[in-house]
Amino acid sequence: MKTITIRYPAAFPLPDMPDSRQVLAIGDFDGIHLGHREVIRRAVDTARRLRLPSAIMTFHPHPREVLGHDKYVSHLTPLPAKLEQFEKMGVDVTYIVQFDHAFSRIEPAQFVEEVLVPLGLDTVVVGFDFSFGHRGAGNPDLLCELAAGRFAVEVVRPYRLDGVKVSSTLVRDCLERGDVKDVEALLGRRYTLTGTVVQGDQRGRQIGFPTANIDPDGPFVVPCNGVYAVWVEFDGERHAGVMNIGMKPTFEGGAKRTIEAHLFDFSRMIYGKKVKLEFVAFLRPERKFPSVAELVAQIGRDAEEARGLLLGQTGNRAK
């Protein structure tokens, strides 16, 4: 998949831009949930039918982040994760529009005339709630009008799951509650984040449950504090584990939120490793225990439950 950056105002043709007409899906696509996937799938399928390149136009940073919406400082799929998903879906080209205050002020007609038309598009595919131009003044109906027959416009209806409209906001709300099973249903895959293993305070090792302390490598939305069953992947290996997100309230002075995973039947040092976390199930909220001994006993029960969920095992047998 080619990745091409557009900085407005852009000089066309862009380097590496396809020399044929294209089928383009437009959207921020944060999370790439089932609704987003339907828009992208429609573009890819139309492109294949017409024997044309399939393309996506997305925006970076998130428009709402630039416009001061604090909620969007973190992302369900930071840009590298988003590009990985696009490629898996068979997209040929991704255009990354650098979204800044200057770009936020262009009018809908300018966006069409100065950005879309020069790309030489056959078809544009958008979601039902797509907006564009200054203050989001443009909508799919206006896009059809401004296209003026120069490219076709396909509008994808809302995607509903059990009667509920799938949205990035809904995914975020579920993560805030730890409902990673619901998130899996909304995304069509398990929620993941990537990061680097860094050195922590080594309390886990001291109490018999060594952990990998993980520093996210992007502005991911991190699920709510609590204990989770997870898969941890690195160096082509996949390991089952139990993970805590939170402040470690049983210990005094825990002022920093941490992400720590205990891997089953594993003892190697992996500081500096790039890892991918895959959230499988929420086990319980984080809480303060009366003593370290009671915390250790609970971690043992958490590990037993996670092992059973992930490996179909109970007890301390190795995988």
- Domain ranges in the chain are 2-165, 190-311
pLDDT of residue 316: 42
Residues near 155 by beta carbon (within 8 Å), at least 6 away in sequence: 125, 126, 127, 128, 130, 140
**CA angle (86, 91, 96) in 5-degree steps:** 65
Give the pair of three-digit tokens for residue 52: 């044309």
Catalytic residues: 260
What pLDDT is attached to residue 318?
Answer: 36
Beta bridge partners of 229: 242, 281
The answer to whether residue 245 scores a pLDDT higher than 60 is yes
For domain 2-165, the CATH architecture is 3-Layer(aba) Sandwich (3.40)
Instruction: Give 297-307 pLDDT, tens digit per residue.
Output: 999 999 999 99
The overall average pLDDT reported for the chain is: 92
Output b/e per residue, 94-126; b: 16+ Cβ within 10 A.
bbbbebeeebbebebebbbeebbbebbbbbbbb
Residue 282: pLDDT above 60?
Answer: yes
Q: What is the mean pLDDT of residues 126-149?
A: 96
Query: What's the burial of 71, exposed, middle or buried (CB within 10 Å: 0-12/13-18/19+)?
Result: exposed
Residues 69-126: pLDDT tens digits? 666 689 999 999 999 999 999 999 999 999 998 899 999 999 999 999 999 999 999 9
Of 218, 221, 223, 143, nearest in space to 179 by CA: 223
d(CA 70, CA 224): 17
What CATH number labels 190-311?
A: 2.40.30.30
Q: Give the model's pLDDT for residue 63.
A: 79
| Among 35, 200, 18, residue whose Cα is nearest residue 127 | 35
**pLDDT tens digit sequence for 160-184:** 999 999 999 999 999 999 999 999 9
**With 60 as the cut, is the pLDDT of residue 314 above it?**
no
